[in-house]
Amino acid sequence: MKQLLTIFSSIFLFYACSTEEVRPEAEQTLGQAGPLNNKKCGTTKLSEQRISEDPDFFQKRANYDAFIANRILEASQESAKASPIITVPVIVHILYNKEADKFSKQFVRTQIGVLNNAFKGTNGDISKVPEKFVKSLAGDTRIRFDLRRIIYKATDVEAFSINDFSEADIRNPNKGGSAPIDPVHKLNIWVANLDGFAGAAFKPEHNVAPEQDGIMMNRMFFGLFESDTNPLNLGRTLVHEAGHYLGLRHLWGDDALGPTGCRTDDGVGDTPNSSRGHTGVPVFPVVTCGSEDMFMNYMDFTDDKALLMFTKGQTKRMRAAFDFETRKNIGIFSN
């Protein structure tokens, strides 16, 4: 674990990018705090938290993998007709310190639009995927996110922390947080000042209660906005965290919290194993573990403008998650 923490501590992100949408006035100041040494993803930290809380964590994790593998096999033997659309109702909680920090409804809707484009494979830059990986492209995952409600909540908390396992405060109105809405049936996303990470998600294998489940987003990396200094400005941190929420791991398989390097994988056949996350905007090819890395996958750590794709294998794994205990009530199926 210490080795893993060292690796994560060393992953700092560099900030330079621009995009097509002008951020509303209230949002324009938010991405201009200068270069941040902010770690991309706190989901592994949440895994550490679960390991400390649940002595059966690794057994349950193995059970989850077996369940998903079986569901993917069953799905491959089912009807060849198009898979149903699975819609996830979404509640977004905006926790703000001052009125000027409130994201507009349109800004939130645009972020959910980015999320849906990623899951449809309709992001405009998907054509940048290297030829090598085109055959692995997910296309339309037929998973959708439907924004049902935005909760605005003023808070005196300057930053909620994932590092010290006090992330529960974000859900607790008595601690400056915002209580989840219908968490059995809806994905709750909290947007707030997060200490240390751009975002974090509970995964289905974490087996947390619905009241604890969901995604936490650092407001600095939420939404689509212009920035010269923030490389996570295209709304793709939420795409990454949504991938975790539906059971995806980083491509280098760190979530076992055991040996890293090339010895662990993400459990997906069409995402080549890599030894680590990538940062910035790498130039293809980058080779680790004896193969070309898919650093443009949403489950890597590259800058937003370099994150382009999910794979077919990841799609199967995410869709299978909706049959698992902790996700089976969260999706609405339709054709």
115 binds Zn ion (CB under 5 A): no
Q: What are phi and psi of 147, to 5 degrees?
A: -70, 115
Least separation in angstroms between residue 80's CB and Zn ion is 33
Give the torsion through C-alpha atoms of 229, 231, 236, 240, to 10 deg. Answer: -130
Q: Which is nearer to Zn ion, 42 or 176 (CB)?
A: 42
Least separation in angstroms between residue 254's CB and Zn ion is 9
Position closest to Zn ion via CB: 41
**By C-alpha distance, which of 223, 248, 247 is closest to 234?**
223
Least separation in angstroms between residue 70's CB and Zn ion is 25
Q: Helices (DSSP H) in the chain: which residue ranges?
A: 2-9, 25-28, 43-53, 57-77, 105-120, 131-134, 236-245, 312-321
Q: Which is nearer to Zn ion, 253 or 313 (CB)?
A: 253
Stretch that binds Zn ion, among 37-45, 113-121, 166-174, 206-214 (CB under 5 A): 37-45
Least separation in angstroms between residue 144's CB and Zn ion is 21
302 binds Zn ion (CB under 5 A): no
Q: Which is nearer to Zn ion, 41 or 191 (CB)?
A: 41
Stretch that binds Zn ion, among 20-28, 39-47, 188-196, 224-232 (CB under 5 A): 39-47
Residue 10: how many CB atoms within 10 A of its CB?
Answer: 10
41 binds Zn ion (CB under 5 A): yes
Residue 277 to residues 171, 263, 333, Cα–Cα distance (Å):
30, 14, 34
**By C-alpha distance, which of 242, 268, 264 is closest to 255?**
264
Stretch that binds Zn ion, among 35-43, 50-58, 110-118, 312-320 (CB under 5 A): 35-43
Q: Which is nearer to Zn ion, 277 or 331 (CB)?
A: 277
Least separation in angstroms between residue 232's CB and Zn ion is 12
| Total binding residues toward Zn ion, as defined by CB under 5 A | 2
Q: Which is nearer to Zn ion, 41 or 118 (CB)?
A: 41
Least separation in angstroms between residue 173's CB and Zn ion is 28
Least separation in angstroms between residue 45's CB and Zn ion is 10
Least separation in angstroms between residue 42's CB and Zn ion is 8
Tokens 């639009």 identify what position?
A: 113
Residue 232: how many CB atoms within 10 A of its CB?
Answer: 29
Residue 4: how many CB atoms within 10 A of its CB?
Answer: 18
Residue 289: which residues within 8 A CB-CB, separation 6 or more?
A: 261, 262, 272, 273, 274, 275
**Inter-residue long-range contacts of 132-139, CB under 8 Å, 24+ positions, other chains counted:** 132/284, 132/285, 132/292, 133/294, 133/296, 133/309, 133/311, 136/270, 136/271, 136/294, 136/309, 136/311, 136/312, 136/313, 137/309, 137/311, 137/312, 138/309, 138/310, 138/311, 138/312, 138/314, 138/315, 139/312
43 binds Zn ion (CB under 5 A): yes
237 binds Zn ion (CB under 5 A): no
Stretch that binds Zn ion, among 43-51, 125-133, 151-159, 204-212 (CB under 5 A): 43-51
What whole-number distance in Å separates Cα of residue 227 and Cα of residue 53? 39
Stretch that binds Zn ion, among 40-48, 74-82, 129-137, 276-284 (CB under 5 A): 40-48
- Residues of this chain that interact with Zn ion (CB under 5 A) are 41, 43
